[in-house]
Chain A
């Protein structure tokens, strides 16, 4: 880690000596392992160590960024010089610049993001995890006839950030995921689904057999899917599809969408934007959290941010830039994309669980749709208009009765948020956005 820190500090100094008034550099190193097993045999095995350097320079109020996988002296030297020259060609922007130094911390809490235990697990054992998960799915039922495979992925990453204000920080993380995608068949055709686990620590990853069995169950329940007539009914998102709904909320509270006025939640701070059931936080300091980090990609100390509390909008999420645009405080959500530019990203953006069990929520629904997959990208984040392909299970008299597909669900996110009637107690983390079961009072289902 120290060599990466040194390298980052050198590049920052180089930028300064080449004429940058300020600069920051992020270096990421990642050691990855990935295996896909299909029908019991290894299909692909992939391993690599990769590095990337992301540079941002300011020349007065102008800025440019660059990125490279080539950390050699000669490439870095010419890239730094060229980035400084490029910055001079961009426009002056009063909101630009590095974060205020008061937002940096010298010491960080241990977020328990690394499990050293992974290092002792051999490639054969890793392959075996994928094999066991797939095998559990294949043997669950004779209608499971095929598979897109079992997958085990592991990555250990190091992140280092240095800037011209004297900040240098570094952290490490491990993350692994195990997934299976079985295929079931009946006279009407094939259906596929999947299940997975993702965790920083070995002990958090569910047993492979459990993942395999659940993948099989989820796939089998799709057999015999039919269509339903166009109607307006209550919609229940399972925790996987609810993540997508909560992700849509994230897009609407990201500071860049707010200063661009490209969100249906502009000018809504302090106002009721959702039903009282809805409380959302973004907490970067969650121990072992999949989106946790001690500081963001600009060095700003992270913290827990309240987004919506009992339906009332509390905060937007900000990078340094969007915060300056809107006279707010950076929230520690600056994230660097592959180009080197900083955007706003979620850390652990989570809809807080409610009281009801998912079974109770389903039982409370006379007629409705339990949504288990959403496909396509039919969300207008500016107006909130929402229309997406869906797969689900039809609900009659509080019971799941048959699978449905080739339908869409449509509404408007602004109304959907206010129409949240129940939030389940089954919060599960599958990434940096997390949600329990969510029931929406009504949406239009388009079908036959």
Chain B
């Protein structure tokens, strides 16, 4: 961790400035105030039709000011980091509190940054030559086209960012972080006899360009994208109706994210709008299931040294052997629910209010051998890759859509099937988990989660599991 934040070095912000703004924010008597400074540099490069079509740079910065008064939140932000603009935003945010009580005088302590850094990177990707990034894209393009002559289109995109954040709060904390993030995405179109199908793959994490090797080698990513498109050319109609489903390891962990993750975010439970409200201590899953949200795994896309409220991230057990343990907390909900902080207060940027969000959410390995799990299924679906998902946290109904799946017939994996949406009920689907594999995998690092219009990077993971019954939304009755 850098010993001084960019905001002190480059923008000459002093502790006295921060204290003055916090005092202004509490001038109408709020309970708590914080200032969230952000400076983000990012690059994006896009290849299509075998040429580099465009390159983009972004430089975005600002400060978000929040005042909490009871259950109320006042928020304002400024794109300008000069003292006057920040004070003006602080006055706007202060309006939420409406008492004549004297505002507390905020005194900031010294740095309380976490000692560990989960994404210590020597050469930030945003500081590296663009030519190096371009060559990753050409490698991916060549590999995808070489995979099969039916691959007619390849789009590859590279993106990186470095986000400097600093949080100063009226409780005296002043902490900062430097958060790198890179990713590479490849999408292909396969065409044969007038039929066209897409394939997608990608990878990344909180690291520099050195992440793109091994499983995340651009050629490996490109080949799996191409293979998926080719496979879809021969796909049969997906089945319709409830059936046994085996989910492969890794990215299918999106099941956990949708089925239970969102429903366990504390804001929904504090307001009792979640289907999981009041279920702590109760059995919500089969005892084979232990699910955690862990923001502390080195270099993962969903990891953070501190959340966007300046609190350290944790490894939080959500479900242990089927029993619900607790919720994902942010500052506001943990205070109102009198529950410990879990380091899950996150926001898209300085222009957004932090809310409880996931980091890396996954299920721990069980004991079954994946091949044995397949063998137990007479007629069902084996789904190994997914597009997006969504959940209605109030009714508990959730969906996730396959992008690579196969029929299982008499214990054997057979034909690939067209994409289909799986729909289930969050509080019951994990009770129907009858086998859990010994092969936990985390995803490749491309997950984006949306909530209340805020998009943030997240991770998921899972071993191979068998769900006794879930509805598959194909067309083949």
Contacts and interface: CB of A to CB of B under 8 A. Distances in A.
Do the two shown chains form a genuine complex with each other? yes
Interface of A: 38, 41-48, 50-51, 63-71, 75, 79, 82-83, 86-87, 89-93, 123, 146, 148, 183, 189-192, 222, 225, 230-232, 260-262, 264, 338-341, 375-378, 380-383, 385, 387-389, 391, 405-411, 444, 446-448
Interface string B40-81: 000011101001111111111110000000011111111100
B57 A79 contact: yes
Contacts, number: 255
Given A89-B130, A378-B399, A388-B399, A260 B189 contact: yes
A353 B79 CA distance: 43
Contacts of A83: 57
Contacts of A444: 240, 474-475, 477
A380 B77 CA distance: 39
27 contacts: A45-B96, A64-B56, A65-B55, A69-B60, A69-B61, A70-B79, A86-B130, A89-B130, A91-B53, A123-B95, A189-B275, A189-B395, A190-B273, A192-B394, A260-B153, A341-B46, A375-B392, A378-B419, A383-B197, A388-B401, A408-B472, A408-B473, A410-B240, A410-B420, A410-B473, A410-B474, A448-B242
A448 B241 CA distance: 6
Contacts of B418: 380, 383, 385
Given A63-B54, A89-B134, A380 B419 contact: yes
A186 to B, nearest CB: 12
Contacts of B196: 261-262, 264, 382-383
A321 to B, nearest CB: 9
B340 interface: no
A338 B388 CA distance: 22
Contacts of B430: none
B124 to A, nearest CB: 16
Interface string B235-250: 0001011100000000
Given A189-B395, A261-B196, 20 more contacts: A44-B73, A48-B92, A48-B351, A50-B62, A69-B79, A90-B53, A191-B394, A375-B390, A376-B388, A378-B421, A380-B418, A382-B196, A383-B197, A387-B420, A408-B471, A408-B473, A409-B473, A410-B238, A410-B473, A444-B475
Contacts of A42: 72, 96
A47 B92 contact: yes
* Top 6 closest pairs, chain A to chain B, by CB: A408-B473, A91-B51, A376-B399, A389-B399, A378-B421, A378-B401
A410 B395 contact: no
B395 A191 contact: yes
Contact of B421 (A67, A189, A387): A387
Contact of A407 (B387, B390, B423, B474): B423
B262 to A, nearest CB: 12
Contacts of B241: 230, 446-448
Point out which of B53, B78, B152, B424 has the most chain A C-beta atoms below 10 A from its C-beta. Answer: B53
Given A41-B71, A41-B72, A48-B76, A376 B51 contact: no
B105 interface: no
Contacts of B425: 406
Interface string B452-473: 0000000000000000000111
Given A385-B419, A387-B401, A93 B53 contact: yes
Nearest to B421: A378
Contacts of B366: none
Contact of A389 (B61, B95, B394, B423): B423
A377 B55 contact: no
A376 B56 contact: no
B56 A38 contact: no
Interface string B380-402: 00000001111110111111110
Point out which of B96, B198, B271 has the most chain A C-beta atoms below 10 A from its C-beta. Answer: B271
Point out which of B197, B273, B396 has the most chain A C-beta atoms below 10 A from its C-beta. Answer: B273
Interface string B241-279: 110000000000000000000000000000111010000
B419 A261 contact: no
Contacts of A391: 392, 397
A90 B76 contact: no
A338 B71 CA distance: 33
B79 A91 contact: no
Contacts of A66: 56-59
A63 B195 CA distance: 33
A230 B198 CA distance: 28
